[in-house]
Structure 1
Amino acid sequence: MSDLRMRAAAPADIDTVLRFWRDAAEGTSISDDHDGVSRLLARDPEALILAERDAVLVGTVIAGFDGWRCSAYRLAVRPEHRRQGIATALLEAAEQRFAALGGRRVDAMVLEANEQAHRTWAATGYHREDHWRRWVKPL
């Protein structure tokens, strides 16, 4: 994995990230647009972690911390680069960020129907908590 480069996204990366998510991520979010990602980067410039190989974006994770809770979103790896440890490396980078910020537990948003993602998260030490449900209200 020495050829894998991790870095925080910059505003110039937004369009590339949005195209990447259309190809590599499951599901969509109300915030999957230029304004949404711009607000994320303005609010927390280190939150969106990119994995690159040979200057090509191969993976992402959003590692958000609000001072109370560590939240992981948008863990995605380009399909042809899966099963090479990229998701694990991204989660390790997110966890290092959380630990440095004083975080104590990571909550991850994982689509219910995405069985492949369930296996990825489980393989990296995460477990499902069935007693919680997500409640949402678009603004």
Structure 2
Amino acid sequence: MSDLRIRAAGLEDLDAVLAFWKVAAEGTSISDDRDGVQRLVDRDPEALILAEEDGRLVGTVIAGFDGWRCHLYRLAVHPERRRQGIGSALLSAAEERFVRLGGRRGDAMVLQRNETAHHAWRAAGYAPEEHWRRWVKPLTG
């Protein structure tokens, strides 16, 4: 993993990130399009964190901080590169960002059906809070 590079995504990375998520991410989001990801990067240029090896995208995480809470989304590692420390490196970068910004606790959006992800999040020290339930309302069409 010595050639693993962790960095913030730029606008030039958006198409590659969207293509990568089709291969490496579980489920889809209402914001999984160029406009949605561009809004994220425009608003918070350090929120979308990439892991690269030899110039190839091998992992992502979104580390969003709204001044109140630290939210983690889209932790995705290429299926051929899982269990090699890439997810841990991404989470470390996200957590360091949160601490630098004054965050106190990270929370992650994890699909209920994604058992593989549950193991990864637990191994990283995260645990579900069963007394909370996410409530959503689509704001567009």
CA distances 1:73-106 after superposition (whole Å, capped 9, x unpaired) = 0000000000100000000000000000000000
CA distance in 2: counterparts of 1:102 and 1:120, whole angstroms = 25
Q: Does 1:20 align with 2:20?
A: yes
Q: In structure 2, what residue type is equivalent to 1:78?
A: H
| Match of residue 120 from structure 1 | 120
Shift of 1:19: 0.2
Q: In structure 2, what residue type is equivalent to 1:99?
A: V
CA distance in 1: counterparts of 2:3 and 2:84, whole angstroms = 12
TM-score (norm 1): 0.99
TM-score (norm 2): 0.98
Shift of 1:2: 1.8
| Match of residue 48 from structure 1 | 48
| Match of residue 8 from structure 1 | 8
**Where in structure 2 are the equivalents of 1:95-134 lying within 5 Å?**
95-134=95-134
CA distance in 2: counterparts of 1:11 and 1:136, whole angstroms = 28
Aligned length: 139
CA distance in 1: counterparts of 2:37 and 2:107, whole angstroms = 20
Q: Secondary structure at the match of 1:63?
A: strand
Shift of 1:3: 1.1
Provide the aligned C-alpha RMSD in A: 0.4
CA distances 1:29-54 after superposition (whole Å, capped 9, x unpaired) = 00000000000001100000000001
- Percent identity, aligned pairs only, is 73
Which sections of structure 2, spanning at least 5 residues, go unmatched? Answer: none
Q: Does 1:80 align with 2:80?
A: yes
CA distance in 2: counterparts of 1:126 and 1:96, whole angstroms = 15
Q: Secondary structure at the match of 2:120?
A: helix
